[in-house]
Homo-oligomer: A and B are copies of this chain.
């Protein structure tokens, strides 16, 4: 049951005066629960508690952290239909999607649990003393990753589970040994509260320190700003718009002690279609892409918003096929009236630019809050000259850019802002003639895809979900996969430290049986 209250650690709290409700876009009406926005006092309480909890939580063993993460997964599953129904009522997304995303969230939690239970992720590195080395003896030095401190997590509008309260950022931070304070997303605060209650239950059941997790409601930007500016907060995870992520990055950079902000932000995910593929599979590619563009009402950060090719009759045919295919797809509901409003505004803005040809734009009446999908086309020269055409239109929309030739195509790619993904559609070995194109594309993205669609982000170790700015604020990290834990840890060295006082990971005996690098060799050996 939703109470609308904040969680300050295990304590429910509603001291503030501001309230808000979430919205059901399918019913086109507000949901019942009244959420109490966190007051400045509550924000400070949560941060103080997290900072205190950190002094204990950072020393909690990997197996106990794994118990905690697995218990969170169990408690989320135990929320059962209540969670699924709340999720649907706050997003307009169908049950299947809710269950799929829940599965992904559970999977992430369990994969981080396995990671920290096994333990080698700390990258223990030992260089033994060499007392007889000339001209100077070498001292014993041992290094491992330790948690960075309390992390503030901002969830995404479009992933109320997998990229929100107990999503990838939170799972990675808790796995690392960092307490988490979630700034709940105002569009799905009910889902957030339920998941928060699961985390709190799990923390209590597995004996974690109070304050290891807090959940703060907020309808505007103030709560988030206060959290990021608070000196006891040591890192920030964010998934959302460029505007929002950049504002937090700027705020963090201005602190007396600047802190790392990992924000995964917008992307238009360029797709390059090569001529042979167009010749061989024109309609098939159009159909595949019509589905990818409209998947989840186009509300994915990996949505293919930009399709690039060299001018030809076949490309024209493709634009027609794509436009027809996309018009044949049923419209669907967006997450929130505000998201639909932004979609319409951004779509209209692009359509209003010079030389933009609208080839599909759903015209019939649609149910409340449904998005009308659209496809537009423009020439390469116009795209190069007009940065308004580079904007993300969050929703079921894509733009085909018809370049004069390969040289212009390469220029168009090089002109792009940083992207999460880039895709090449190619047949036979025609791709071998496009090495400059691939090289240019690689330079702008975090993941490159061959003959596929960018939508669908596999959660696995080899996945990079990030990329050059503004796809993310730091291309050196990924938001997805177990290596995303690296965002929340720092290396730490012990020099000549007594063996019995070292953490278990670094003791001679290798009590945890983990892989370590000793004098340059990776081994599970004792010393």
Contact A491 B483 (CB under 8 A): yes
Q: How far is the CA of A141 from the CA of B449 in the complex (A)?
A: 9
**Complex interface: chain B residues within 8 A of A94 (CB):** none
**Complex interface: chain B residues within 8 A of A498 (CB):** 431, 450
Q: What bracket does the count of chain A residues touching chain B fall in? A: 35 or more
Q: Does A55 contact B (CB under 8 A)?
A: yes
Contact B452 A143 (CB under 8 A): no
In the assembled complex, the CB of A505 is this many whole angstroms from the nearest CB of chain B, namely 12
Q: Does A460 contact B (CB under 8 A)?
A: yes
Q: Contact partner of A260 among B417, B476, B520, CB < 8 A?
A: B476
Say yes or no: A258-B143 contact (C-beta < 8 A), given A458-B138, A493-B462: no
Say yes or no: A257-B496 contact (C-beta < 8 A), given A55-B439, A142-B462: no
Residue of B nearest to A103 (CB): B135
**Complex interface: chain B residues within 8 A of A439 (CB):** 55
Q: Does A45 contact B (CB under 8 A)?
A: no
**Complex interface: chain B residues within 8 A of A259 (CB):** 469
Contact B520 A461 (CB under 8 A): yes
**Complex interface: chain B residues within 8 A of A257 (CB):** 417-418, 468-470
Contact B491 A478 (CB under 8 A): yes
Contact A522 B522 (CB under 8 A): yes
**Complex interface: chain B residues within 8 A of A450 (CB):** 494-498
In the assembled complex, the CB of A47 is this many whole angstroms from the nearest CB of chain B, namely 16
Name which of A13-21, A70-78, A344-352, A440-448 contacts chain B: A440-448
Task: Mark A484-495 against chain B: 1 for CB-CB distance below 8 A, else 0.
Answer: 001101111111
In the assembled complex, the CB of A146 is this many whole angstroms from the nearest CB of chain B, namely 8
**Complex interface: chain B residues within 8 A of A522 (CB):** 515, 522
Q: How far is the CA of A425 from the CA of B445 in the complex (A)?
A: 50
In the assembled complex, the CB of A497 is this many whole angstroms from the nearest CB of chain B, namely 5
**Complex interface: chain B residues within 8 A of A208 (CB):** none
Contact A148 B493 (CB under 8 A): no
Q: Does A517 contact B (CB under 8 A)?
A: yes
Q: Does A191 contact B (CB under 8 A)?
A: no
In the assembled complex, the CB of A358 is this many whole angstroms from the nearest CB of chain B, namely 30
Contact A492 B447 (CB under 8 A): yes
Interface core residue of A442, A456, A466, A498 (most chain B CB under 10 Å): A498
Residue of B nearest to A149 (CB): B443
Contact B476 A492 (CB under 8 A): no
**Complex interface: chain B residues within 8 A of A458 (CB):** 127, 138-139, 141
Contact A496 B462 (CB under 8 A): no
Q: How far is the CA of A142 from the CA of B463 in the complex (A)?
A: 7
In the assembled complex, the CB of A463 is this many whole angstroms from the nearest CB of chain B, namely 6
Say yes or no: A493-B464 contact (C-beta < 8 A), given A141-B458, A452-B139: yes
Q: Does A125 contact B (CB under 8 A)?
A: yes
Q: Does A475 contact B (CB under 8 A)?
A: yes
CB contact list, A17-62 vs B, under 8 A: 55
Say yes or no: A493-B253 contact (C-beta < 8 A), given A143-B464, A439-B55, A458-B139: no
Task: Mark A237-272 against chain B: 1 for CB-CB distance below 8 A, else 0.
Answer: 000000000000110010001111000000000000
Q: Contact partner of A501 among B141, B253, B431, CB < 8 A?
A: B431
Say yes or no: A451-B496 contact (C-beta < 8 A), given A418-B257, A458-B138: yes
In the assembled complex, the CB of A285 is this many whole angstroms from the nearest CB of chain B, namely 15
Q: Does A194 contact B (CB under 8 A)?
A: no
Q: Does A276 contact B (CB under 8 A)?
A: no
Contact B143 A461 (CB under 8 A): yes
Q: Does A126 contact B (CB under 8 A)?
A: yes
Q: Contact partner of A442 among B466, B468, B492, CB < 8 A?
A: B492
Contact A489 B464 (CB under 8 A): no
Q: How far is the CA of A493 from the CA of B478 in the complex (A)?
A: 10
**Complex interface: chain B residues within 8 A of A250 (CB):** 253
Q: How far is the CA of A469 from the CA of B254 in the complex (A)?
A: 13
In the assembled complex, the CB of A134 is this many whole angstroms from the nearest CB of chain B, namely 12
**Complex interface: chain B residues within 8 A of A373 (CB):** none
A–B pairs, 28, beta carbons within 8 Å: A138-B460, A141-B460, A141-B462, A142-B462, A143-B464, A148-B476, A257-B468, A257-B470, A258-B473, A260-B476, A431-B498, A438-B501, A446-B493, A447-B492, A447-B495, A448-B492, A449-B495, A450-B494, A450-B496, A451-B496, A452-B495, A461-B520, A463-B493, A464-B491, A464-B492, A476-B489, A477-B491, A515-B522
New A-B pairs, 12, CB < 8 Å, besides A143-B463, A451-B496? A125-B483, A126-B462, A127-B460, A143-B464, A253-B258, A446-B490, A448-B492, A448-B495, A449-B495, A461-B520, A466-B491, A475-B490
